[in-house]
């Protein structure tokens, strides 16, 4: 885990399935908020319940070791396709761990979308 991300995770964190086949890493307090929203959404229907089961059922509490490493369970590594180089990205309330090849592909698409999408003007960044 890069040094700049470790301070917020010093007391522990949760790893969970992320969107688009990454692993999401949450500080403990943020994870509890997210889990609450996921649990609430699960009351809305079958798809939401299935997603909640996948998210909560595959989430694990973990600690960062003295060398800044997070022990990611094999099930999550498999879900995210992590078996070689990874990229760690800070995204708002969470950190995402990506397979490096998949991240580069999505980053290319994202940069193209950023450069060409008129809808992104609403974000206030262009």
CATH 3.40.1550.20 fits 3-99, yes or no: yes
Across the range 60-80, mean pLDDT stands at 90
Predicted pLDDT at 113: 82
Percent of the chain with pLDDT over 90: 63
Predicted pLDDT at 67: 86
C-alpha distances in angstroms, 18 versus 8, 64, 109? 19, 19, 18
Task: Kindly write down the DSSP assignment for every residue of 58-80, as one continuous string.
Answer: T-EEE-B-TTS-B---HHHHHHH
Mean pLDDT of the chain: 88
Sheet containing 60-62: order of strands: 60-62, 13-17, 23-27, 94-99, 86-91
- Asked if 44 and 94 touch (Cβ cutoff 8 Å), the reply is no
Predicted pLDDT at 114: 80
Q: Domain map of the chain by residue range?
A: 3-99
Please state which of the ranges 17-21, 29-33, 89-93 shows the lowest mean pLDDT: 89-93
């Amino acid at each position: 885990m890069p040094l700049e991300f470790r301070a917020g995770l010093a007391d522990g964190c949760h790893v969970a399935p992320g969107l688009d086949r990454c692993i999401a890493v949450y500080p403990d307090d943020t994870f509890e908020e997210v889990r609450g929203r996921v649990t609430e959404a699960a009351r809305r229907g079958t798809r939401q319940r299935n997603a909640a089961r996948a998210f909560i059922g595959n989430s694990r509490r973990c600690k960062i070791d003295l060398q800044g490493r997070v022990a990611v369970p094999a099930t999550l590594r498999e879900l995210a396709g992590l078996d070689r180089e990874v990229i760690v990205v800070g995204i708002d309330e969470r950190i995402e761990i990506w397979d490096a090849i998949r991240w580069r592909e999505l980053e290319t698409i994202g940069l193209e979308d950023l450069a060409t999408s008129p809808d992104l003007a609403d974000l206030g960044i262009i």
